[in-house]
Structure 1
Amino acid sequence: MKISLGADSYGFDLKQAVKQYLINKGIEIEDVGINEQEAETPYYQIASEVAQRVGSQQADRGILVCGTGMGMAIIANKHPSVYAAVCENTNAAEKSRSINNSNVLTLGGFITSPEVAVEIVDTWLTTEFTSGWEPPIQEWLENSIKDIAILENEQFGSIESQSGNS
């Protein structure tokens, strides 16, 4: 699994803690920045970069950290094939994967301690889409993803034509 990781200055310290945790787990990381706590790269540039990598399948998933996680999620969700979720606890992380099949996790440096962030990340990484749901609900969730892809295609157009693969 390859994870694209990014933060603004408000999420830098938490990103570094998450990054170290992922490295210790042997997960391939692509850190798009910021790389210095003082860097002034706007959150929306970092979020857009990670979202583009996840949406184009250059990375399997993404993790973004800003002050609240909300700004990063708003920007990331403007990209095709990106399903970003703000998670402040493990229950939200589990549901974001099992119900919504999120592929980008956003965290808040103002809100979440490094210890809690690691628990959230671990839950998010180990929860599979539809896990824990009865077969009828699993089927409904799988069909909903197909319906969402149709809506996304209507909104954004064909992903293949955008990447030059048509």
Structure 2
Amino acid sequence: MKIAIGADPYGFDLKEAVKQHLQNKGIEVEDIGVNNSTQETPYYQVAAQVSQMVGSQQVERGILVCGTGMGMAIIANKYPHIYAAVCESSFAAEKSRSINNSNVLTLGGFVTTPLVAQEIVDVWLNTEFKQGWEPDIQEWLENSMTDIAQIEKQQFRN
């Protein structure tokens, strides 16, 4: 698996902790920045770059870190084929994958400790879409992705 990771200055320290955690697990990480906590790169530029990489399938998933994770998620979700979720707990991470099939995880450096972020990332990486749901709900979730793709096609018509 290859993951693109990026942060703004407020998420730099947490990004570095998550990146090290991923590398320790043998996961290939494409770090698109920032490279220090004083680099003045706007969150929306970082979110755009990671989202383009995930949306074009250059990487399988993305992780974005800013102060709260919310700004990154707002920008990421403006890109086709991106399903970004702000997760502040392992429970939210599990549901973002099993229900929403998220492919971009956003975290907040102001609100999430490195240890909690590692737990969130592990759950997010190890949960599959539809995992843990009864067959009828799994079918509904699968069908919902077709409906969502139609909405996406209408919204991103070029």
TM-score by length of 2: 0.99
Please state if 1:146 is matched with 2:146.
yes
1: CA distance, partners of 2:3 / 2:146: 24
Residue aligning to 1:3: 3
> Which secondary structure state, in structure 1, belongs to the residue aligned with residue 110 of structure 2?
coil
- String of CA shifts for 1:10-67, please: whole Å, max 9, x gaps: 0000000000000000001000000122100000000000001001111100000000
Q: Which moved more, 1:28-37 or 1:97-106?
A: 28-37
Please identify runs of 4+ aligned residues in structure 1 that moved more than 3 A.
none
2: CA distance, partners of 1:152 / 1:58: 20
2: CA distance, partners of 1:56 / 1:154: 18
1: CA distance, partners of 2:80 / 2:30: 20
Please state if 1:135 is matched with 2:135.
yes
Residue aligning to 1:70: 70
Residue aligning to 2:122: 122
Residue aligning to 1:99: 99
Residue aligning to 1:15: 15
TM-score by length of 1: 0.94
Query: Residue 38 of structure 1 aligns to which amino acid in structure 2?
Result: T
- Segments of structure 1 that go 5 or more residues without pairing to the other structure are none
- String of CA shifts for 1:48-95, please: whole Å, max 9, x gaps: 000010011111000000000000000000000000000000000000
Report the count of equivalent residues. Answer: 158
2: CA distance, partners of 1:21 / 1:101: 22
Please state if 1:56 is matched with 2:32.
no
1: CA distance, partners of 2:31 / 2:133: 34
- Segments of structure 2 that go 5 or more residues without pairing to the other structure are none
2: CA distance, partners of 1:17 / 1:109: 11
